[in-house]
Amino acid sequence: MDLSIAALLAQDGITNGAIYALLALALVLVFTVTRIVWIPAGEFVAWGTLTLAGLQTGVAPGTLKVLVGMAVIAGLMEAWGCVRRGQAGRLPRRLAAWTGVPVVVAALVWWLAPMQLPLPVQVLLTLVTMTTLGPLLYRVAYQPLAEASVLVLLIVSVALHFTLVGLGLWFFGAEGSRTPAFSSTSFTLGGVNISVQSLLVVASSLALIGALALFFGRTLYGKALRATAVNRAGARLVGISPDFAGALTFALAALLCGFSGVLIGPITTVYYDSGFLVGLKGFVGAIIGGLSSYPIAAAGALLVGLIESFSSFWASAFKEVIVFTLIIPVLLWRSLTTTHHEEDE
């Protein structure tokens, strides 16, 4: 391997790593606020790509059907909850939020889809669709079990992963999709060829991470989520609804994952079931961060990207093996430095 190949691999690794970093952040966010190990994050990545690919060809993506279906189920659940608690007066507002908004979003995207609008608008539509889907998923699958153990929530995640993969095959078909690159130009810097696409991926990941940092540091809602992550019961006592925190977390996480999907689309062909492995690579990053530290998780994800890139050069058949066995030394190190184990009921 000479320097130019190394530079190329590093560039690939950093590009992929930046995408995994978004995922790792989403996973840490979801885990700290809701205790959910969010296995289906990968499906949101794949659906992000496939939704954008649908919009590219001027077809209303299957995601919209899922969106409307979930909105109806969420509406029914809200209605049942309000009736059972004798709070029928709250129902109109809740229905507007849980069913009305998603249906309007779906209708808008469905109406705009055939117009084949410019790429940035399509990206925006994709992100709006995915971000709306996140809270619905939380409402329907997780919220009724919000107080259950981490283990039960994890099994729900896995079940949900199965369901979403099945739905993905149904709505997107078995064929893979690739979305066009944002830019096909490249330039040479110090003898190394750098593609503008890679720069755009890294820059937009950084921008999103920066926006997230601002959200958590400066806004009331961001602080509310941080408070929930630190102490759920305490946050509840000062008026932060855990249901709201969960929904908001899933909106943000869905946005991050959907955005990863948009970024990964031009790099690799995405199939309905591609999300699982991509999501797990995000998990490797998140585990390096102990499912609690954002910066270490992001750095870990970058490391995963680099290792993947270099191992695909040296031992491409064992690329996945190498990436996933990476967590063994990480866990070993964590285990040896953890002095106590906690009661986890």
Partner 1 sequence: MLGSRAAFALFVAVLAVVPQVAPAFWVTLGNYIGLYSIVALGLVLLTGVAGQTSFGQAAFVGLGAYTTAYLTTKYGTSPWLALAIGMVITAAVALFLGFITLRMKGHYLPLATIAWGISLFYVFGNLEMLGGHTGMSGIPALSFAGFELKSENRYYYLIWAITLASLWATNNLLDSRPGRAIRALKGRLEMAEAFGVNAARLKIVVFVYAALLACISGWLYAHLQRFVNPTPFFITQGIEYLFMAVVGGAGSVWGAVLGATVITLLKQVLQDVLPWMFGRSGNFELIVFGILMILLLQFARDGLWPWIERIIPRRMPPPVPPAEPLPARDRATRAGPLLEVRKARKQFGGLVAVNDLSFEIRPGEILGLIGPNGAGKSTTFSLISGAAALTSGDIRFRGESIGGAPPYEIARLGIGRTFQHVKLIPQMTVLDNVALGAYLRGGSGIVRAALALDGAEEARIKAEAARAIARVGLADHTFDAAGSLPLGKQRIVEIARALAADPMLLLLDEPAAGLRFLEKQELAALLRSLKADGMTVLLVEHDMDFVMGLTDRLVVMDFGEKLAEGQPADIQKNAAVLEAYLGSVV
Cα–Cα distances in Å, from 123 out to 15, 67, 116, 215, 256?
19, 17, 11, 21, 13
Measure the CA–CA gap between 183 and 196, rounded to whole angstroms: 6
Measure the CA–CA gap between 169 and 254, rounded to whole angstroms: 20
Backbone torsions φ then ψ of 174, nearest 5 degrees: -85, -10
> Tokens for 74?
């969420």
Tell the smallest beta-carbon distance from residue 287 to partner 1 (Å).
6
Residue 160 interacting with partner 1 (CB under 8 A): yes
Nearer to partner 1, 143 or 205 (CB): 143
Q: Using the rule CB under 8 A, which residue among 108, 155, 199, 227 binds partner 1? A: 155
Cα–Cα distances in Å, from 125 out to 49, 55, 101?
12, 9, 14
> Please, are residues 47 and 261 in contact by the beta-carbon 8 Å criterion?
yes
Q: Using the rule CB under 8 A, which residue among 284, 298, 301, 302 binds partner 1? A: 284
Residues 6+ apart with CB under 8 A from 33: 225, 228, 229, 245, 246, 249
Residue 162 interacting with partner 1 (CB under 8 A): yes
Nearer to partner 1, 2 or 343 (CB): 343
> Tokens for 33?
């606020």
Measure the CA–CA gap between 111 and 343, rounded to whole angstroms: 52
Residue 150 interacting with partner 1 (CB under 8 A): yes
Q: Using the rule CB under 8 A, which residue among 141, 251, 257, 297 binds partner 1? A: 141
> From residue 100 to residue 139, what is the string marking binding to partner 1 with x (rule CB under 8 A)?
----------------------------------------
Residue 230 interacting with partner 1 (CB under 8 A): no
Residue 148 interacting with partner 1 (CB under 8 A): yes
Residue 28 interacting with partner 1 (CB under 8 A): no
Positions that interact with partner 1 (CB under 8 A): 37, 141, 144-145, 148-152, 154-156, 158-167, 169-170, 174, 277, 280, 283-284, 287, 291, 317-318, 320-321, 324-325, 327-328, 331-332, 334-335, 338, 341-345
